[in-house]
Amino acid sequence: MQKHSHLLLDIEGTIVLDKRYTPVPGSVRWFNSLAKKGVKARLVTNNTTESPDHLYDILRKRGFKFARDDFFTCLTVALARMKRNPAKGGAKSCLVFGKQAVKKYLRQNGIKPMDSKNVDAVLIGHDPTVTYKKLNTAVGAIIENGAKLYTLHRNRRFVDENREIVMSSGPIAKALENACLVRASLCGKPDRRFYLSSIKGWDVERSEILMVSDDPFADLIGAKKIGMKTCWVLTGSQKDRNVVKKIAKKYHPDYILDSVTDIPG
């Protein structure tokens, strides 16, 4: 495997195993050794269950050493986009599919979460309490009130705190897009704008950057499309190597490894 001097690292399923943020065995020591070897690494996450500040603190407490500027989340992107929504003069209210930590983060930053169709925006994150009634409220907000639809990501599934594979936000976003005949604004991976903002300041060719994730579909295909090298690790919800057969050959991962710790520093 070629050594890369710049790494973009997914978090859940890649450097931690689950929603308890249990580190992948050996990942803390491996990650913290990168800087000493001259390797630059940044963390990029589609996490929709914690506020960015809380997740940063969790990872630091688990032993990962990194600067706040080397940490990029879909939620910070979503907040910025909703605030500059030109049709509404900046969203002031939002119907949120997500946990209390997400709602609290929005509230603290000037956007009021409301369980109503009379909102400026609809934000899709992981919501284990989603109901048909709430989906219908979202449809009313979009069609009747002109609310803008945002999705934090399009991931299909993930491993929860009980180490069970559960449905993620992507299918919910797809259902609302289909019902309302709209396209959601994608705020996280694999949106090219998310990737480009996360590598800002790195004066290297994109082909010299390695994107590492447990998701060979959304995450790695998105990185491939803008010219990065990609590495699929088998520590997350996707463990069957044969799934690459479902991916166009030009988007196949450059590397498939058992663990992130197998990447040379």
Instruction: Please state the separation of Cα 84 from the chain's center in Å.
Output: 21
Percent over 90 (pLDDT), the chain: 76
Residue 259's CB: how many other CB atoms inside 10 A? 16
Q: Among 204, 242, 183, 213, which Cα is nearest to 24's? A: 213
Instruction: Please state the separation of Cα 140 from the chain's center in Å.
Output: 27
The mean pLDDT value for 83-87 works out to 76
Span 129-162, pLDDT tens digits: 899 999 999 999 999 999 999 999 887 877 777 7
Please indicate whether the domains covering 6-46+189-262 and 87-186 agree at the CATH topology level: yes
For residue 87, pLDDT over 70 is answered with no
Domain ranges for the chain: 6-46+189-262, 87-186
- Can you give the pLDDT at residue 88? 65
pTM of the predicted model as reported, rounded to 2 decimal places: 0.83
Q: Are 211 and 8 in contact (CB under 8 A)?
A: yes
Tell me which long-range contacts 191-198 makes (C-beta under 8 A, separation of at least 24).
191/222, 192/222, 192/225, 192/226, 193/77, 194/44, 194/72, 194/74, 194/77, 195/8, 195/44, 195/222, 195/223, 195/226, 195/228, 196/226, 197/72, 197/77, 198/8, 198/42, 198/44, 198/72
Q: Which CATH class is domain 87-186?
A: alpha beta
Judged by average pLDDT, the poorest of 5-19, 162-176, 197-211 is 162-176
The mean pLDDT value for 165-175 works out to 88
- The answer to whether domain 6-46+189-262 has CATH 3.40.50.1000 is yes
By three-state DSSP, how is residue 94 classified? Answer: strand
Residue 3's CB: how many other CB atoms inside 10 A? 10
Reported as type and span, the H/E element at residue 255 is strand 255-257
pLDDT confidence of 228, banded at 50, 70, 90? very high
